[in-house]
Amino acid sequence: AQSVTQLGSHVSVSEGALVLLRCNYSSSVPPYLFWYVQYPNQGLQLLLKYTTGATLVKGINGFEAEFKKSETSFHLTKPSAHMSDAAEYFCAVRGGRHTGNQFYFGTGTSLTVIP
């Protein structure tokens, strides 16, 4: 079965500080992992994804995530937070054909950036 756990429903960082949003997954098949961002009153946009290959994945807006199979984690980081990063972030895993290729989302982490 596939599932995603995001630790911390709310994270606050100072502008310029490191952003770390945690995601752990469980999957019975090699996972496809995604991070999405949702700005207020908007739909979700893809930040980055891991399918195969290099375990450090770079995305848009300076974000990156590292797939660690041994830890079943896919944490999202950004070296220096910007005010415009304030948003809701969702980690997701995509299941295989037996699940209809369904996406399983975490409960989200709300990021606040303090000036």
What number of other Cβ atoms are within 10 A of residue 98's Cβ? Answer: 9
The answer to the question of residue 103 lying near other proteins (CB under 8 A) is yes
Short-list 113, 115, 111, CA closest to 10: 111
**3-state SS class at 11:** strand
The smaller minimum CB distance to other proteins, of residues 100 and 115, is found at 100
Out of 90, 91, 111, 113, which residue is the one contacting other proteins (CB under 8 A)? 90
Q: β-strands 103-105, 32-38: how paired?
A: unpaired
Comparing CB distances to other proteins, the nearer of 80 and 112 is 112
- Judged by CB under 8 A, the chain residues 18 through 77 that form the site for other proteins are 32, 34, 36, 38, 41-46, 49, 51-52
- Burial (Cβ within 10 Å: 0-12, 13-18, ≥19) of residue 4: buried
Binding site for other proteins (CB under 8 A): 32, 34, 36, 38, 41-46, 49, 51-52, 88, 90, 92, 94, 96-97, 99-103, 105, 107-108, 110
